[in-house]
Amino acid sequence: MTPQRVAVKIFEEAGRAETLDLEPFTPLFHQFIQEASVPGLLIDVADYAHVPNGPGIVLIGHEVDYAIDSVGGRTGLLVIGKRCGDAPVAESLRDTLTKAVRCAQAIEQDGRTGLTFNTEEMEFQVFDRLAAPNDQETCEALQSTLQATFPFLAEGAAFERTSGDDARKPASVLARSAGKHDLAGVLAAVGG
């Protein structure tokens, strides 16, 4: 499986989907562009805060997008790796998770949003229905790849298919690690 787009969502610690103030993310994401604070060639910021359970504020890049996302009623940092080329899915997921953790660290270190992240649960998605249709076989392959690629998910982790049977949705797996890892620990585990 060599998808062109993969995604990782790291959930917010407090679970404030309805009450999280998205306004501070627009200037923060503009600052990330100006200072090259997070990986990737960053282009613009889009405000979708008016969309209920939607993409929130999106930092658009050439090969990666960052978003404070509330899809599914759970707020988190959604990072979409784009233009993966011929890279194997494991490499694309590792690169995207590395970028997600670095962005989460930058958001926490800035402090103006008050957002902190919980790495006990992360959602992994494959946004390429041609290379990876949303079916049980793809989700099982994704789970196997996650276990083989990320040591902190190899033992004791629980996995749940979150995409349902809707063929229009991307294949998606929620991973619950056996222990709590801080962002720096996850970054070290993925070799970032």
Q: What is the pLDDT of residues 14-44, one digit of tens each?
A: 766 567 889 999 999 999 999 999 999 999 9
Mean predicted confidence (pLDDT) in 126-147: 90
Q: What is the mean pLDDT of the chain?
A: 90
Residue 26 included in any domain = yes
In the structure encoding, which two tokens stand for residue 45, read together?
């910021």
- Structural domain boundaries, residue 85: 6-189
- pTM equals 0.94
Residue 1 included in any domain = no
Yes or no: say if 61 and 44 are a contact pair by the CB < 8 Å rule: no
Residue 53 included in any domain = yes
**What pLDDT shows up at residue 14?**
75
For the chain, what is the domain count?
Answer: 1
Give per-residue pLDDT as tens, 95-112.
999 999 999 999 999 999
Residue 185 included in any domain = yes
pLDDT score of 129 more than 80: yes
18: DSSP letter: T
Mean predicted confidence (pLDDT) in 135-144: 92
**What pLDDT shows up at residue 190?**
83
pLDDT score of 114 more than 70: yes
Q: Which residues are CB-contacts of 74 (< 8 A; sequence separation ≥ 6)?
A: 11, 12, 15, 17
pLDDT band at 189, cuts 50/70/90? confident
Greatest alpha-carbon span in the chain: 42
In the structure encoding, which two tokens stand for residue 150, read together?
């990320």
